[in-house]
Every structure is written in structure tokens, then in C-alpha cells.
């Protein structure tokens, strides 16, 4: 049984500048159920602590949040919070590693970069 994975990337921030980008180095990947694959995502940013995200889009649905990586931390969404999925930042890349492939892993995968601090609201008055 073959699994077809496709990788796309975009910069998802109003703060993204010309020097902030993600670079696709994998493209289409075909693998066998039970195998392991690595989808590459290189990034460039002038921001010292960027946030990198992975999303999975099934054929008939919107992209689903999978992981957020920053510094030495990887936060995983429910359903991806097991040892089959890993997306740790390694220098200027954030490879998505999927182990023990399932047929349901066949999808479009997006890597996204956010450079800049998240917008926050503090000191709310009631």
C-alpha cells in the first residue's frame, strides 16, 4: 500500500518580511504503510526566536494544526501528541518526522513560520 504525501509551505504572519520565508526541499513523497518519512522545511528569518508550525490537510477538509515548535519546545495538538510525530527545530529547519505511516497520513502538509511575538491582550478591565 502506497501513501502519497505532499508538502507546501507559506509564511503566516503580518510581520513576515522579505527575509522571512520557508523553503520547500521535499516536494512529493511516496512511501509504504509502516515506513517512516521526513518532510523537510527550511526557514530564514531575522527574528531570534521564531515559531514554526505544521498543519495537515486531508482531501475534504481544512488544514488541521499539528505542531508548534519554538526554542527547544514542541507543542503537539491532540491526535498528534504521540511518538509517531516529531517536529523539533534543528538549526534553520523544522523537519516533520512521521513514523509507522498509516493510510490516514496521506495528505497535504503545510509548514508555516511566524516571526515576532504573538499578539496578547493583558490587564483587561471589567
Distance CA 36, CA 95 (A): 13
What structural domains does the chain harbor?
Answer: 2-114 (2.60.40.10)
Whole-number pLDDT of residue 55: 93
Q: Compute the distance between CA of residue 20 and CA of residue 73 in angstroms, rounded to an integer.
A: 21
| Amino acid 71: pLDDT | 87
Q: What percent of the chain has pLDDT over 70?
A: 76
d(CA 97, CA 48): 24
Q: pLDDT tens digits for 96-112?
A: 999 999 999 998 888 88
- Residue 11, pLDDT > 60, answer no
pLDDT average, residue stretch 27-50: 88
Quick one: cell of 70? 519554538
Report, as an integer, the average pLDDT of 33-56.
Answer: 90
Amino acid at each position: 500500500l502506497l501513501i502519497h504525501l505532499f508538502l507546501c509551505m507559506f509564511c503566516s504572519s503580518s510581520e513576515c518580511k522579505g527575509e522571512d520565508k520557508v523553503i520547500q526541499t521535499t516536494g512529493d513523497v511516496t512511501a509504504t504503510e509502516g515506513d517512516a518519512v521526513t518532510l523537510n522545511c527550511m526557514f530564514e528569518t531575522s527574528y531570534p526566536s521564531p515559531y514554526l508550525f505544521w498543519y495537515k490537510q486531508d482531501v475534504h477538509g481544512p488544514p488541521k494544526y499539528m505542531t508548534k515548535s519554538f526554542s527547544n519546545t514542541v507543542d503537539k495538538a491532540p491526535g498528534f501528541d504521540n511518538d509517531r510525530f516529531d517536529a523539533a527545530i534543528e538549526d534553520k529547519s523544522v523537519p516533520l518526522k512521521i513514523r509507522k505511516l498509516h493510510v490516514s497520513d496521506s495528505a497535504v502538509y503545510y509548514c508555516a513560520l511566524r516571526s515576532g511575538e504573538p499578539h496578547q491582550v493583558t490587564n483587561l478591565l471589567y
